Structure 1
Amino acid sequence: MGGELSKSRKLNNGIVAAVCLAFFTGMVGMAYAAVPLYKMFCQVTGYGGTTQRAEKQYAGRVLDRDITIRFDANTNGIPWQFEPVARSVTIKIGETTQAHYSATNKFDRPITGRASFNVQPEMAGAYFNKVECFCFTDTTLKPGETLDMPVVFYVDPDIVNVPELKDLKTITLSYTMFPVEKKQPVASSTPAAGNSTNKVSDTEASLGG
């Protein structure tokens, strides 16, 4: 009798452990999936000021109405000088326009950067369409190198049909440039993230962070 109870107890414990492991694995998977899913949601809806990506240049109607686009640039943990070439431009709603940013690597080694972006007011993100943008890919600059970084965009004429935006006169396009960490090799002696409480990224260490 005692042996059967012991076997039954071990079986139950094994089932509980398996369920817990499956639950934990599922939660980790959901956490990783949440980031790209949230990004996709923002890109589709314009939520949080996320702009839209147009697959081809706009060839639709252009309204006889001006709107001013202001350009903003920031850096986060990257030793670059990053700024718009012009602070603003006034265009027609529906008109395809090209603007330029400039980036210079002030560090003594090559640095790869990536730009995050949004627009203000946030609701305008759903109507601000980028045809081409340096933010679509990572950019690597050599020490002292300066690069012209264009962005081609237009404002969807449907913006005038939105009650909250129909009288909008200005949209601010903002970019923040940050460093891209190096990928760790498959075989590495670096401790796993869960085993270290003081893990410093390669980029931060190289930049003296």
Structure 2
Amino acid sequence: MMAPEITLQNRQLMGKLLVITVLMLGFGFAMVPMYRQICEALGITQSRTVGAVNTQVDTSRTVSVEMVASSAAGLSWKFEALDRTLKLHPGELATVRYRVENTLGRPVTANARMSTAPEIAGRYIVKQECFCFSSQTLAAGEVREMPVVFRVSPDAPKDMDTVSLSYTFFEVKG
């Protein structure tokens, strides 16, 4: 038989453990709405609207973007911009396409580098998707279309009304 003192301590411990269990269960249920609000405040929730509108587009002005393509010396790929010029408002998302063909008789891996004119424009080009983010390996004779998804930042200088985006492929040695 247990001493009454130990029985009392066991009951008190059991009561504390039950209170902790109920609090943990309640906290678990409370986390769902708290998590939703935190995600919404941070902007990481999935939007349930179709075709979300970009409110950051500056419709008061237009920027003309010229697309240029080239291959470095020693890399005889055919590389061209399919969409050579476009006009867009700063902040507006645009997709342009490039076509590349490996004319060499062997597989080749190459990286593309972007340059801009005027040079300062590079600060205001925000790329979402680009073949320049990783090396591209093309088999002998392979032809590929590659998109670039970008926008001109609304913070771009007001007098920057024409931008040239130039991509150049360089072979990766080794």
Report the TM-score when normalising by structure 1.
0.55
Task: Measure how far apart 1:96 and its partner are.
Answer: 0.5
The match for 1:135 among 106, 118, 132 is 132
Q: Which has the larger radius of gyration?
A: 2
How many residue pairs are counted as aligned between the two chains?
A: 120
Task: Measure how far apart 1:149 and its partner are.
Answer: 1.0
**In the alignment, what sits opposite 1:144?**
141
**In the alignment, what sits opposite 2:171?**
179
Deviation string 1:84-133 (CA, Å, 9 cap, x unpaired) is 00211111111011101110000111111110111111111111110110
The match for 1:74 among 62, 70, 93 is 70
Report the TM-score when normalising by structure 2.
0.66
Distance in 1 (CA, whole Å) between partners of 2:64 and 2:147 is: 18
State whether structure 2 residue 92 is matched by structure 1 residue 100.
no
**In the alignment, what sits opposite 1:199?**
none
Secondary structure (helix, strand or coil) at the match of 1:158 reads coil
Point out 4+ residue stretches in structure 1 off by more than 3 angstroms: none
Distance in 1 (CA, whole Å) between partners of 2:96 and 2:55 is: 20
The code of the aligned residue for 1:63 comes to: D
Distance in 1 (CA, whole Å) between partners of 2:141 and 2:121 is: 36
Flag the structure with higher helix content: 1
- For structure 1, the residue ranges without an aligned partner over 5 or more in a row are 1-57, 160-164, 183-209
Deviation string 1:163-188 (CA, Å, 9 cap, x unpaired) is xx312211000011111111xxxxxx
- For structure 2, the residue ranges without an aligned partner over 5 or more in a row are 1-52
Distance in 1 (CA, whole Å) between partners of 2:137 and 2:80 is: 16
Distance in 1 (CA, whole Å) between partners of 2:138 and 2:117 is: 29
Secondary structure (helix, strand or coil) at the match of 1:101 reads strand
Instruction: Please report the RMSD computed on the Cα atoms of aligned residues, expressed in angstroms.
Output: 1.4
The code of the aligned residue for 1:169 comes to: D
Identity, in percent, stands at 40
**In the alignment, what sits opposite 1:63?**
58
